[in-house]
Structure 1
């Protein structure tokens, strides 16, 4: 099994990257996270922690890939009523993604996998992917189906024995479980609070902001979360995403 350092681009030295490329590493995984409020109990970098872990595990499972540094911040304008949130315009995020892909393409990576972990980043990733694909030689593989992503999180909870299905996931059972699994000390368990439950209009969330729906920034009940469920969620997402990447790489040759 590859060591952590041999998978993380940012911890390597350039001759190691050159050697990896020469020895058949052809895929780079780029997660796109955020710095935004996740209720009174989860850190602002929740989506970035998630992105770091997903990109590392996907690279490890593929066996011939490296995890690029997670892009942050993301498009989080709908969270700006909560202090600490940092947001960038969609055009800025798309420019950064474009620059990442151009750089990786120039070094010889043949497949670049984009993994948004924050809902507000899925649209920009989908929008910019065709443009990038026309500009560079590498294939660009966006794992940017938000409905599928939410479904995988709910599936992971269910497989861990927690029946708590949410259409829109933010700082509730699923995301709290992920942070418990990855960095338990970052969860302020004394501040666990139930948030808004029931149906939510995503368009309203994005246009009017989270504060119009949830005072504490939470959707659902984080008290349902366990570290075991978080591990199961991560495994579920990684397994599905690895299958997607392998299928896409075969398609493009």
Structure 2
């Protein structure tokens, strides 16, 4: 049996649905949807553009590119392992639209998550993917350099996971020094920092716990619900045991989390990132 990739399986019904079939007296004729003659009018996603469209965008002033960095890790029994990737992609899209003249690179989903022999940190659980720190920093540098030589004048790292933020900062500082006079590299710390500060304070002001801004806790779960509720297993969340490292949960009780509470945090993240990038060179 031929096993098609899931993306192809999802595409097949849409292709057939767009074919217009008519039956005439002389037989059956069909007209399938024609390929697009240009880029999607509202996209900021680098991966959805052709190379000629990217070149044209750079010539037209799109001089900034965001590199969203996620991670693939366990997040308790009720949040899917792609949490950081889905969230940072969605928020980077919002940030790019607010900034203007900005594109969003593909998400970096492979990051350091702990050791494999012995298994440490999140690697103690199934569902986590980890790469060595040196491989990670090499990946960041290579991706950033790829964008610089194409003509982007600002390469901006946005990290959704606390475990590698020092690496993002170090790589950005290294590249900014190396590129001096030709381009800038920037790490946007406020995007992540606001979660454990202003957002945690906003939740506490609503009487919602003290241990916030952690992992798979109330704040983390609410942020995921705000971006993509399908990533949260509601039945498992409602019956979640008390948080603990044996469940991969660190912080306060996640059960009161709602999408409305999460939107408070995602709005703060977008605002903080936009402000920081606008202030930067």
TM-score by length of 2: 0.76
Deviation at 1:186, TM superposition (A): 2.1
Distance 2:50 2:171 in 1: 30
Q: Which residue of 2 aligns with 1:87?
A: 130
How large is the RMSD of aligned CA atoms in angstroms?
A: 2.2
SS of aligned partner of 1:10: helix
* Greater relative CO, 1 or 2 (CA 8 Å, sep 6+): 1
Contact kept, 8 Å, 2:195 with 2:213, in 1: the verdict is no
More helix by share: 1
Rg larger for: 2
Asked if the contact 2:75–2:81 (Cα under 8 Å) also holds between the matched residues in 1, the reply is yes
Aligned mates of 1:214, 1:124 — CA distance in 2: 25
2:202 and 2:51 map into 1 onto residues whose CA distance is: 37
1: CA distance, partners of 2:88 / 2:258: 19
Structure 1 unpaired stretches of 5+: 197-212
Measured against aligned partners, the alpha-carbon deviations of 1:8-41 in whole angstroms (never above 9, x if no partner) come to 1111111221111111111111111100000000
Distance 1:95 1:166, change over 3 A: same
Q: Structure 2: where are the runs of 5+ without partners? A: 1-39, 115-120
Q: Quote the residue 1:172 is aligned against.
A: 217
* TM-score scaled by length of structure 1: 0.84
Aligned partners of 1:156 and 1:236 also within 8 Å: no
- How many pairs does the alignment contain? 231
Residues in 2 aligned to 1:194 and 1:182: alpha-carbon distance in whole angstroms: 24
Which residue does the alignment assign to 2:25?
none
Counterpart in the other structure of 2:159? 116
Q: Give the deviation of 1:177 after TM superposition.
A: 1.1
Q: Tell me, in whole angstroms, the C-alpha distance in 2 between the residues paired with 1:167 and 1:188.
A: 20
2:140 alignment counterpart: 97
Residue equivalent to 1:199? none
Equivalents in 2 of 1:176, 1:142: separation in Å? 25
Query: Following the alignment from structure 2 to structure 1, what is the Cα–Cα distance between the partners of residues 207 and 265?
Result: 11
Kindly provide the CA deviation profile for residues 119-140 of structure 1, in whole angstroms up to 9, marking residues without a partner as x: 1110211222222223333211
